[in-house]
Amino acid sequence: MEHHDSKTEKPIKGAEVVIKALEREGVEVLFAYPGGASMELHQSLTYSKKIRTILPRHEQGEVFAAEGYARASGKVGVCIATSGPGATNLVTGLADASMDSIPLVAITGQVPRYWIGKNAFQETDVIGVTRPIVKHNYLVQDVRNIPRIIKEAFYIASTGRPGPVVVDIPKDVQQEMVVPEFPEKVEMRSYKPNIHAHPNQLRQITDAIAKAKRPVLYVGGGIIASGASEALRKFAKKTQIPVAQTVMGLGCFPETDPLALRMLGMHGSVFANNAVNEGDLLLAFGVRFDDRVTGKVEKFAEHGTIVHVDIDPSEINKNREVHIPVVSDIRYALEELLKIVKPGDYSQWRQQIEQWKKQYPFDFKDRDDCILPQYAIRLLSEMTHGDAIVAVGVGQHQMWTAQHYKFTRPRQLLSSSGLGAMGFGFPAALGAKLAHPEKEVVDIDGDGSFLMNVQELATAYLEKIAVKVMILNNQHLGMVVQWEDRFYKGNRAHTYIGDPSDKNSYPDFVKMANSFKLPGRKVSQKKELADAIKEMLAAKTTYVLDVIVPYQEHVLPMIPSGKTYKDVIIE
């Protein structure tokens, strides 16, 4: 504890203590939309020399931007909202951060303590509302606890399995005067996040590898969250075991590497799904056996031994019973395994995989009479040298991006993967660009998803954040259309989002961008696309490229929900 001689220290408002505590955590950028119960925090922010406050145009835009910042940088994303509707507008982003294990601290204003529970103006029980979708939450009842609670919030959000933490602060607590005492370190008896695998457990894993003829690595977001990408690359190189990645894991192992099986799961590569299901050893590292990966879960990887390493004990045996369960930080486990693992001879297995790769490449039948979304993504990938940070909305374009943009490094693809929240792409891209101003950041979006947080064009313009938006505009909710075509005899149930009386696409995204004082362009001819992408990438501001694509395209391969890899649809 730092002790203060109260004679020399002047008391300051609780709100000011919050901002000083954030500065001490190294916060440089935060996202905040003001209101009655959070005004005091905003007043204090105007005096901060260290924190840049970004004013979004909706609290959902703000929390997605904070997530984009966290996903791209690995730091804790921070957002502030007022009580009631301000706080409830954060809920989708909190659920998203929880599902994808993203470190986030959300600070909400609350009505004064004496009004709590009385249905005061703009009152919501934020603690009750967010409890199921956060890692932890606090209602600050005493101004003297602010320094400790903020420090704990950052510690909890960023350690172990990362996640969102909410700190709800009543207005009268923000206004109370106090001489703050800032703790130097966190002491929490009930929370011990650093778990390391026992040497015997690691030996069990190397023994299993030594016996295996057809091993496969199945890796995900845990690799990225724990900073284990480098260790994974060395481990794969040393053992020569092929690597399949989840959407959350894309980029943790370079997709251009000969050992890469790319993405597995519902829309994953046939060769990844075959390898995982026909292998005799599955090394599941930093993954959670999500239903979009496994399909019919009891049939998933049924022929092999399954090793599951995860920092979160609640994930072990939750979705899939495994043979060798290990609770550990995955980076620690990989670095220790590297020291003792022996390379095996998997040449026959690799030959089999190469055969599948030739037989079932990630491909599509290109056309010249229109722009296919897959073609647009591949062209963008070429023109950005595969180096851009890419944010996506949710739907077909999200899966095509995962299939056709080859990611080579962690934190390069930002995707609402577990929750699948439309409207995520554009604000997440803004957050990522603030984390990496030197990098090209592109939001590959759908017309449906982009429209959900289109108001953040104002934030992009006024805060001078230059992200590039490529909308794959098919005038439909494409992924739902695909399911209608496959499973509902093509019956359209409110999935057309254009204007039937208009031959042009609706709405006019270029005019919309222009109304926010930003440039844009619409293309529908294949021959125009390269020039349009070039113009977009050259822009010094946010730029909206509206690419008209056919709605009849399906994301393939596809394993129907609840089926197995043998039921894959290729045509």
Backbone φ, ψ for residue 160 (5° rounding): 55, -135
Amino acid code (one letter) for 116: I
How buried is residue 512: exposed, middle or buried, by Cβ count under 10 Å (0-12/13-18/19+)? middle
End-to-end CA, the chain: 65
Residue 59 annotated as catalytic: yes
In what order do the strands lie in the sheet containing 543-548?
413-414, 389-392, 441-446, 468-473, 543-548, 520-523
Q: Helix/strand/coil (H, E, C) string of 117-160?
A: CCCCCCCCCHHHHHHHHCCEEEECCCHHHHHHHHHHHHHHHHCC
Cα atoms in the 13 Å half-sphere on the side-chain side of 229: 20
Cα–Cα distance between 548 and 64 in angstroms, integer?
26
Residue 310, helix vs strand vs coil: strand
Q: Phi/psi at 216 (nearest 5 deg)?
A: -140, 140
Q: Give the per-residue SS3 of 184-206.
A: CCCCCCCCCCCCCCCHHHHHHHH
Q: How far is CA 206 from CA 283, 322, 350, in A?
A: 11, 16, 20
Query: Distance between CA atoms of 507 and 511, rounded to whole angstroms?
Result: 9
| C-alpha 356 chain-centroid distance | 30
Residue 119 · residue 108 · CB < 8 Å: no
Query: Measured between alpha carbons, how far is 219 from 270 in angstroms, rounded to an integer?
Result: 17
Q: Pairing relation of β-strands 12-13 and 177-178?
A: antiparallel
Contact 557, 267 (CB under 8 A): yes
In 3-state terms, what secondary structure has residue 277?
helix
**3-class DSSP state for residue 358?**
helix
Tell me the two tokens of residue 561: 């929900």
Choosing from 16, 40, 59, 336, the catalytic residue is 59
**Among residues 263, 399, 470, 479, which one is catalytic?**
479
Give the DSSP H or E segment for 24: helix 14-24
Please compute, for residue 412, the number of CA atoms within 13 A of its CA located in the half-sphere on the CB side: 22
Q: What gap in Å lies between CA 316 and CA 517, rounded to an integer?
A: 51
Instruction: Return contacts of 294-301, CB within 8 angstroms, 24+ apart.
Output: 294/265, 294/319, 294/320, 295/265, 295/266, 295/559, 295/561, 295/562, 295/563, 295/564, 295/565, 295/567, 296/562, 296/563, 296/564, 299/564, 300/276, 300/564, 301/218, 301/276, 301/277
Instruction: Name the active-site residue from 13, 135, 171, 406.
Output: 171
Is 171 one of the catalytic residues?
Answer: yes
122 is catalytic: yes
State the Cα–Cα distance between residues 116 and 122, nearest whole angstrom: 11
Q: What is the CA radius of gyration of the chain?
A: 25
Q: Which of 1, 9, 121, 359 is catalytic?
A: 121
* Residue 325 · residue 256 · CB < 8 Å: no
Instruction: Name the residues annotated as catalytic.
Output: 59, 121-122, 171, 479
